[in-house]
């Protein structure tokens, strides 16, 4: 699925994931995502609570991974919460 953009939510093996990869990168069969999970232990700024499809889910930032685009099915977007996601990735990578 090549039409995914940053902050889209897609399902992979029954788990919702947020695409965090920049759209400025060259095409690749894989894309970097972070799972959205219920009941995941939240750390302030690292694991923000996001609203998607009427549910409050935790961004499991430490579970960041690359998955095959072909295995993803787009289910929506959390672009309006993009600042929280970007901050969580910054905290993961730089500790700030």
pLDDT in tens, the chain (96 residues): 458 999 999 999 999 999 999 989 998 999 999 999 999 999 999 999 999 999 999 999 999 999 999 999 999 999 999 999 999 999 999 987
- pLDDT for position 1: 44
Specify the 3-state DSSP secondary structure of 61: helix
SS3 2: coil
- Predicted structure pTM score: 0.94
Answer whether 16's CB lies under 8 Å from 75's CB.
Answer: yes
Q: How many residues does the chain have?
A: 96
3-state SS, residue 49: strand
How is residue 81 annotated by DSSP? Answer: G
| pLDDT on residue 2 | 52
Q: What is the pLDDT of residue 20?
A: 98
**CATH architecture for segment(s) 8-94:** Roll (2.30)
pLDDT of res. 12: 95
pLDDT value for 27: 87
Kindly state the helix (H) or strand (E) to which residue 31 belongs, with its residue range: strand 30-37
Are the C-beta atoms of residues 43 and 28 closer than 8 Å to each other? no
Say what the pLDDT of residue 3 is.
Answer: 86
Are 31 and 72 a contacting pair, CB within 8 Å?
yes
């Amino acid at each position: 699925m090549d039409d995914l953009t940053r902050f889209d939510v897609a399902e992979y093996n029954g788990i919702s994931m947020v695409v965090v990869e920049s759209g400025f990168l060259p095409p690749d069969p894989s894309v970097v995502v972070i799972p959205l999970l219920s009941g995941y232990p939240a750390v302030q700024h690292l694991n923000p609570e996001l609203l998607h499809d009427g549910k409050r889910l935790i961004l499991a930032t430490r579970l960041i991974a690359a998955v095959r685009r072909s295995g993803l099915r787009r289910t929506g977007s959390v672009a309006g919460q993009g600042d929280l996601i970007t901050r969580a990735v910054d905290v993961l990578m730089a500790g700030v």
